[in-house]
Amino acid sequence: MSKLRFSITIQAPKAKVWNTMLADSTYRLWTEVFHAGSHYVGDWSQGSKILFLGPDPDTGMLGGMVSRIKEKSR
């Protein structure tokens, strides 16, 4: 099986990229592409519990996964 690798260089400060990806409103925008209604509940602090949620496409019921932020680097 072959592996594909993709990369892109973003000409912006790390803090701007981080905030754009993980702020609630913009996170919802970029996850909309692959799962409408996806969002998270919690925060990105090290050790925090965070819920990644979205509606089931067939039933509309909210589901997802629970995770814990192991570490945070910027």
Q: Give kind and range of the element (H or E) at residue 40.
A: strand 39-42
Give me the pLDDT at residue 55, please: 96
Q: Looking at residue 69, what is its pLDDT? A: 92
Is residue 67 over pLDDT 70?
Answer: yes
| Contacts for 39 with CB less than 8 Å, ≥ 6 apart | 24, 27, 28, 31, 53, 54
**7-62 pLDDT, tens per residue?**
999 999 999 998 888 899 999 998 999 899 999 999 888 999 999 999 998 998 99
Q: What residue ranges do the domains of the chain occupy?
A: 14-68
pLDDT of res. 18: 87
- State the pLDDT at residue 74: 59
pLDDT at 1: 86
